[in-house]
Structure 1
Amino acid sequence: MRHLFTLQLVILLFLINDLNAQLNYKFPEPIVELTIKPSDTDVTIKEYNSPHLVVYDPTIKQGKLLLFLAGTNGMAVKGPKDLFLTAIEQGYHVINLQYITRPAVAQICRGETLVKNSNCAADFRTRRIYGSNKFDLINDTSQDAIVNRLTKLLIYLSKNDKNTNWNAYLKDGKINWEKIAVSGQSQGGGMAAFIAKRELVARVIDFSGGWDYSAKNKIASWYFNKSVTPSNLWYGTYHVTEPKAKTIHKSYEAMNIPKDHIYPFNLEVPAGKKGHSNGIRNLGYKKQWIELLGKGN
């Protein structure tokens, strides 16, 4: 029992140190780093009100926006900073958007729920992204939707941050998806892919984001839907040690991601870490990140 307690204490201290390292990360000058609460952009937003993270370099030519969506339990201010710095170096502005991440799709769309509604995953994601449909299995309101949160943040930035042209990512008050590369990890990677199916985006990068089902051992039908974003702009990654690696790869094939745009990462995962999140945290993948991101400007 004493050994178990000691192990738990070591793990807890490791997690605390890791969290502190993420929160204390400082982007090099002259990069601008902004943290903005969702409620400051829309007073009707009440849930998941931890700040959005906004970072960019005002001294380089403004390029596309990289929208990043975290996985379950993710907080924007704890996002993968090395990945974001790489994106900035590639010419992107970066927004790590705070949105509702619990419950996750995998926690709701399973078992008897799938028997009753094989389209559960698509209905869930539509509600969380667009807020435009009725889906009673989660409590997300329309103002909580990813699209509303991003729209209101861009409008807020266009009014309050004059160091750059945030209106470039808006068109008639709505999101200008063609100027935005969508990305995310786990649940967020699935959200990015779902958006790219419906919207013409500049690029989509799915980090370990796909294991929605329509029935037991049958991946969700939405993966096979025709994509508005052409296949040459799709990219997907996963770590070979992930429990869901085969399913994720199968979802990428269903989404018609080109074979050379699928990255099965295989670097050794550090002690105490998980392969599932390693692809966005491990600086050893910087070369691959550059390939995935392409030029932002």
Structure 2
Amino acid sequence: MRIDHRKVAVAVAVICLAAALAGCSDGGSNPPPSPPAPPSPPPPPPPASVEREISPALANPALTANLAANFVINPNPAVSAKNRLFVMLPGTGAIPRTYREIVRVGAARGYHALGLTYPNDEAIETLCGGNPIPDCAGLARREVIMGEPVSTLVNVDAPNSITGRLTSLLTYLSATFPAEGWGQYLVNGQVNWSLVTVAGHSQGSGHAGYLAKIRDLNRAVMFSGPGDTGATAGSSADWLSLPNFTGVARQFGFTHTADPLAPLPNVLRNWGVIDLDLFGAPVSVDGAAAPYNNAHQLVTSAPPNPNPAGPSAAPEHGAPVVDSVTPRDAQGNPLYRDVWIYLAFP
């Protein structure tokens, strides 16, 4: 049989043309590439910084006392997030609203920042100054901080303690405002103290100092204290001699030279026991600029605000950090803003 090669060639050409139109060739080929995936949407911007007052009972309905609102601010989104938490502990009988300015400075610097309400009705020095009970002040502070039943002079259970209240507040904030990042300060439901700077005024200064003895804090800052004295005149409370769990390089103090409630000699003696004097003698911030010779003991003799925004029994005691009596510059801003940044918000 004769083969018509011209017809065969035409048939092959037709088949190849059809194959080409179908996306193949006589030698075979890969299918056309898939179109590229659309780009991922950019992450949402961080939420705006908002000031909030949150009742302790909202965070933990079991709380029935010391219910003044906590003062809370999430970080300013216009600056780099520090991913650190600042906690301000009020002095005896004071509430978080008393210390809003320093909390605002922390948030403006990129910190999560809050003032915490806790059981502070009785001054530790009033309870324990000269008291022969061994480690009286240390045991009282431990019960207020941890809620452990170790002191006969205070009665604070775990939910009411500083640790319990901070834990419940962070849990509430994380659940209610998840985009703000409060949850990073909890690990398995416990406070991640290594990310927390604890500052305190007066009674709160001693709690900050005691926490530095038992937890590895990011920083500890003590305003106008601690003034805890021991069983004998001129001695320091026992707890001040405990080893520092938080390195002393991350502990700082700031007080007024004319403080009548926590006298300068007592405070300097206690700072020395903590070992703040390893970084040099006390340095006055008056007319000076950071870093204040890299000192960890700072003092001021500047007059308190001559037009206080509220009553104060001892303006010099509050001047380093209390809103109503802290001195202001010509624009009305806190005079010690740069001091606070050096101490707590690097």
TM-score normalised by the shorter chain: which range applies? 0.7 to 0.9
Q: Which whole-Å deviations, capped at 9, do the CAs of 1:231-250 have from their partners, x for residues lacking one?
A: 11010011001131110111
Higher relative contact order (CA 8 A, sep 6+): 1
Alpha-carbon distance in structure 2 between the residues aligned to 1:235 and 1:125: 19
Indicate conservation of the 8 Å contact 2:140/2:150, yes or no.
Answer: no
2:12 paired residue number: none
Match 2:73 to one of 30, 40, 55: 55
Trace 1:62-211 onto structure 2 (pairs within 5 A).
Answer: 62-63=81-82, 64-76=84-96, 78-111=97-130, 114-115=131-132, 117-211=133-227
Distance 1:289 1:166 in 2: 22
Q: Is contact 2:200-2:208 (8 Å) kept?
A: yes
Q: Look up the equivalent residue of 1:214 and give its one-letter code.
A: G
Q: Distance in 1 between matches of 2:99 and 2:303?
A: 18
Alpha-carbon distance in 2 for matches of 1:158, 1:182: 19
Q: Is the 8 A contact 2:185 2:195 kept in 1?
A: yes
- 1:208-219 matched pairs, under 5 angstroms: 208-217=224-233, 218-219=235-236
8 A Cα contact 1:58 1:163, kept in partner: no
Matched, 1:236 2:253: yes
Match of 1:261 in 2: 296
| TM-fit CA distance, 1:30 | 4.4
Opposite residue 336 of structure 2, the aligned amino acid is Y
Structure 2: how far apart are the matches of 1:101 and 1:167? 26
Q: In terms of mean alpha carbon deviation, does 189-198 or 284-293 score higher?
A: 284-293
Structure 1 spans left out of the alignment, 5+ residues: 1-28
Higher-helix-fraction structure: 1
Q: How many residues get paired?
A: 263
In the aligned structure 2, how far is the partner of 1:214 from the partner of 1:187? 16
Higher Cα Rg: structure 1 or 2? 2
Q: 1:37 corresponds to which residue? A: 55
Q: Which is worse superposed, 117-126 or 206-215? A: 206-215
Cα displacement string for residues 175-205 of structure 1 (whole angstroms, at most 9, x for unaligned residues): 0001110101000011011001110011111
- Partner SS for 1:66: strand
Alignment correspondent of 2:305: 270
Change (3 A) 1:96 1:214: same
Give the counterpart letter for 2:304 in structure 1: V
Letter in 2 for 1:265: T
CA distance in 1, matches of 2:125, 2:304: 24
- CA deviation after TM superposition for structure 1 residue 71, in Å: 0.2
- Summarize deviations over 1:206-230 as a string: whole Å, max 9, x none: 0012111221321112111110111
TM-superposed deviation, 1:86: 1.8
SS at match of 2:178: coil
Contact 2:241 2:274 in 1 (8 A): yes
Query: Which amino acid counterpart does residue 184 of structure 1 have in structure 2?
Result: G
* TM-score normalised per structure 2: 0.72
Question: Does the residue aligned with 1:228 lie in a helix, a strand or coil?
Answer: coil
Deviations 1:88-113 (A, max 9, x none): 222211110011111110121134xx
Helix, strand or coil at the partner of 1:144: coil
Match of 1:4 in 2: none
TM-score where L is the length of structure 1: 0.84
The percent identity for this pair of structures is 25
